[in-house]
Amino acid sequence: VPYDERAFNAKTVDVVNAELASIAKKLEKHGLKTGYHNHTPEFANFKGTTFWDYIGDNTPENVVLQLDVGWTAVAGKDPAAYIRKYPGRSNTLHFKAGLPAGVTDKVSLIGQDIVDWKSVITAAREVGGTEWFVVEQEVYPDNMKPLEAVNVSMKGLQKIISEMK
């Protein structure tokens, strides 16, 4: 599920959780999974935690929590900590640079942003159950064309990975 306003609404988040659980059960017998993809609002405070945590804690472990690293960073949260908090549930991750409000000395390109990418990659490898890193770009610094910005982010990711070997 790429976005659902009910997931960050106190009155409707339980409906989303129930639907995810029901769909997961139906898909499991076919070897398929369903999941939820975050944006910044899922990290708003809810019941002493966040909506993202509430979804993670109240859906079965076979529901994928597709963490969008960029939106997680924009919300001021640690993406690697979230991967570790829900082991085996990050089958796919959206690798995107994101900057919280007020950050002016960084750029929304992988390797030029605020994310500790090595920690994210390590968490994905160690506990995430991650099969795919999906490089995504929604911001185009310095009037870059979309594919130029994706290419720069991809090269930044490749450099980070090469430094980890």
DSSP 17: H
Average pLDDT over residues 74-88: 98
DSSP state of 134: E
**Which helix (H) or strand (E) element contains residue 35?**
strand 35-37
pLDDT higher than threshold 90 for residue 83: yes
Q: For 28-44, how does the pLDDT look when each residue is reduced to its tens digit (9 = 90+)?
A: 999 999 999 999 999 99
Flag whether pLDDT at 159 surpasses 90: yes
Residue 157: closest CA among 121, 123, 130? 121
3-state secondary structure string, 86-102? Answer: CCCCCCEEEECCCCCCC
What pLDDT score does 165 carry? 78
DSSP string, 44-74: SEETTEEHHHHHHHTS-TTSEEE-BHHHHHH
- Residue with token string 């690293």: 69
Q: Cα separation of 156 and 135, whole Å?
A: 11
Rounded mean pLDDT of 114-126? 98
Distance CA 40, CA 63 (A): 19
Say what the pLDDT of residue 36 is.
98
Is there a contact between 113 and 98 (Cβ–Cβ < 8 Å)?
yes
